[in-house]
Structure 1
Amino acid sequence: MPSNRAWFDLPQLGPAGSWRDVGIAVGRGALVVGFLVLVYSMVPVDGFNDERAVAAWVRLVAVGLAFLLVLGVELRIVASSHAPMIRAAEAVVESVVAFVCLFALLHLSISTTDDQSFSEPLDRLDALYFTSGTLATVGFGDITPVDPLARTVVTVQMLAGLGVLVIVVKAAFHAASRSRRP
């Protein structure tokens, strides 16, 4: 028998599933996203050189590990939340923004090393714009990777981005469904 309930029914979000909880989550999410963007704008970025060519790969691994750390923290918070479904949605947004900021720093670092790595030199806003467009699969074509290192890192970002969207959503809502609710 079909239900007359809307697909987004607040009582199904958990015992604390109220508009107040949604408002708190939106506010908290905005603060976390703002903090991530602030950190992104303040982290010093230097380039690589021939003597430190392996640094690009080390940074790529560091980006992956940093993202896994953020995701792990987010999942623990979801599992212990009193409104886990709301917190899971918040965790998805925060994790994706962290992913974008981390890869934007990597693209910026590559561009700082060689301003010919992309079709134009990237500043912080350009790197964030390019990374967001790549993740969203929009790819306007105004900024493109040109050299092999930039193309490789962007390819890794594209493949990882597809997986991140699926894995983060699945993991966050799985943690929410298994949480210890009062």
Structure 2
Amino acid sequence: MRTGETTAGGRQVPAERRHALVSLARSLLVAGGIVVGYFVLPMTRLDGDSLLRLLAGLALIAALLAWQIRQITRSAYPRLRAVETLSVTLSLFFAVFATAYHVMSVDDPASFTEPLTRLDAAYFTVTVFATVGFGDIAATTETARAVTTTQMLGDLVLVGLVAHAVVEAVRTGMERQERRT
């Protein structure tokens, strides 16, 4: 078993465990930063550029995901890298749609069955993703329904294609490791 650095107590920490802890910490920091950014950054105006920003956010997520999948295949710890990839991708995906819902609600409170706070918008995003559909909040305008439909389709892509791509990247990374040893 490989060992890592010596701790303050003088004992060796296995490299795999150290990498797992660093990966977990990095995932939590990035996801936490995205959540904090969602709740504190100013976003209250819907304008002509809002749709473009939503599309740009989705394109950024797709580009980041493609880069992350490539990194999984090259990583010494592909499973850990896959967990990081999913945590960042899902956090960004949720933040992009929660932001869109919140801004639409601020601009036109009739977009949903009730005006959405940031927390309400995040809640709605998660209920749509989880396909729970409690019915307490629903999109009522065409624009809100179009964005919600876009999220639903994106959810299917995330659950199906992205999960498959991440699993394949882990498999490729593991095979690459086995060839090295």
2:68·2:85 contact (CA, 8 Å) conserved in 1? Answer: yes
Could you say which structure has the higher helix fraction? 2
Normalising to structure 2: TM-score of the pair? 0.79
2:38·2:95 contact (CA, 8 Å) conserved in 1? Answer: yes
Higher RCO (C-alpha under 8 Å, 6+ residues apart): 1
- Other-structure match for 2:90: 96
SS of the residue corresponding to residue 110 of structure 2 reads coil
Shift in alpha-carbon separation, 1:48–1:119, aligned structure 2, 3 A: same
Q: Structure 2 counterpart of 1:62, which letter?
A: A
- Other-structure match for 1:28: 26
User: Is 1:69 aligned with 2:63?
Assistant: yes
1:135·1:161 contact (CA, 8 Å) conserved in 2? Answer: yes
SS of the residue corresponding to residue 178 of structure 1 reads helix
Q: Deviations over 1:122-171 (max 9, x none)?
A: 11111111101110111211111111100111011111111112122112
- Aligned-residue sequence identity (percent) comes to 34
2-structure distance, mates of 1:58, 1:77: 28
Distance apart, 1:172 and its partner CA: 1.6
Q: Deviations over 1:50-94 (max 9, x none)?
A: xx3xx3432331232121122123223323321102221331232
> RMSD of the TM alignment (CA)?
2.2
2:44·2:106 contact (CA, 8 Å) conserved in 1? Answer: yes
- Other-structure match for 1:46: 44
- Other-structure match for 2:7: none
Aligned pairs (5 A) from 1:105-116: 105-116=99-110
User: Is 1:138 aligned with 2:132?
Assistant: yes
Unaligned runs of at least 5 residues, structure 2: 1-13
- Other-structure match for 1:127: 121
Distance apart, 1:47 and its partner CA: 2.5
2:54·2:96 contact (CA, 8 Å) conserved in 1? Answer: no
SS of the residue corresponding to residue 169 of structure 1 reads helix
1-structure distance, mates of 2:130, 2:159: 10
Normalising to structure 1: TM-score of the pair? 0.79
Distance apart, 1:106 and its partner CA: 1.0
Unaligned runs of at least 5 residues, structure 1: 1-15
State the number of aligned residues.
163
- Other-structure match for 1:10: none
- Other-structure match for 2:166: 172
Q: Which moved more, 1:159-168 or 1:23-32?
A: 23-32
Q: Structure 2 counterpart of 1:43, which letter?
A: L
Shift in alpha-carbon separation, 1:147–1:178, aligned structure 2, 3 A: same
- Other-structure match for 1:3: none
